[in-house]
Amino acid sequence: MQGISLHLGFGSVLAVVATTVLVVLLGGLRGARRASRTPPVAALRDPEPPSIRMGWFRILLAVLLLCGAAMLAANLDGGATLSAFTGQAVLLTPLLAAALAAAGPVVFPLVLRAWTSLLPARVSASWFLARHAARHRLSQSTATISPLMVAIALSGGLYTMAATLDAALAARDGSTTGTGLAPEGVVLLLGGPLLLSAVAAAATVFMSGHARERELALVQAAGATHGVVVLAAIWEAVIYAVTALLLGAAATIGGGLIIAGALSLPGPSVSFATLGLITTGGLVLVLVATLVPTAAALRHEVSPALAVE
């Protein structure tokens, strides 16, 4: 963007740092309190992590975000200027995605179980292992799906809003100029958040590699071959990506329906290509983060991995 000079605001930097610290503090406070009440002997025995639950903060946050989305939807004025309408409509899908992320401990397992149940566990041993592993890990943390779902919703919502506005302009006055959503502008606006979200999802999967070693050793001791173990890891990455896609698409379509209703259109112009593109990129990163620990674990002997430390 030629002719634009860079300005860094000290106040803006402080605001971002303070907000980040606050979010991290609230996110880790519950776990720190639980750890402080755990006896040292119990911690040394490496107990099974407890399943996550919807705490009061998540419930309050989800309700506030849904209320904000409802108020924004009620105040959308299809007859306003393009810039005024866009400034409001662009926030709809992110609010819906944030509400889904806040309600993740309840919503994510339901969605994952619902669509994975369509393919019976008896289809293959690798699918059976992947489905149970994904369900088990999702009961302990939603950090794998949340960032990828937000990335899908942010990009899909932006392009869906732009395509729906283009359809409304064409229906009103036959305009073919469109909203002018240039790719370079999207990269400047969403490139950082999208990359951070995808890397965060992959990093969360990668950090569970230590727990995978003992699990894979148990599976191999039960008679599974290396091919079955690798295929199960691939299926698990696909499960995470598809679950994130379904949730991100729900937020995108929900926001698009509200925007289309405000513009008196029969339906939104959903950008399925954008949804698929971001999902594919996230799947590649998650797949690498899943296969690398799996390949490393397969190089270890089964007996030492199952030995009691």
pLDDT over 90 (residue 217): no
Q: Tell me the residue type at 195.
A: L
The pTM of this model reads: 0.83
pLDDT over 90 (residue 77): no
Query: CB of 150 within 8 A of CB of 97?
Result: yes
Query: Over the stretch 240-275, which tens digit does the pLDDT of each residue have?
Result: 999 999 999 999 999 999 999 888 888 898 989 999
Query: CB of 103 within 8 A of CB of 54?
Result: yes
Could you tell me the residue ranges of all domains in the chain?
Answer: 54-306
pLDDT of the residue at 43: 63
Hey, how many other C-beta atoms are within 10 angstroms of the C-beta on 245? Answer: 23
182-189, long-range: CB < 8 A, 24+ apart: 184/1, 186/155, 186/158, 186/159, 188/1, 189/158
Which is nearest to 52 in space by CA: 145, 148, 138?
Answer: 138
- Cα separation, 135 vs 108, in Å, equals 10
pLDDT of the residue at 96: 95
- Cα separation, 176 vs 159, in Å, equals 16
> Which one has a higher pLDDT value, 71 or 187?
71
Sequence-distant (6+) residues with CB within 8 A of 125 are 224, 228, 232
Query: CB of 158 within 8 A of CB of 186?
Result: yes
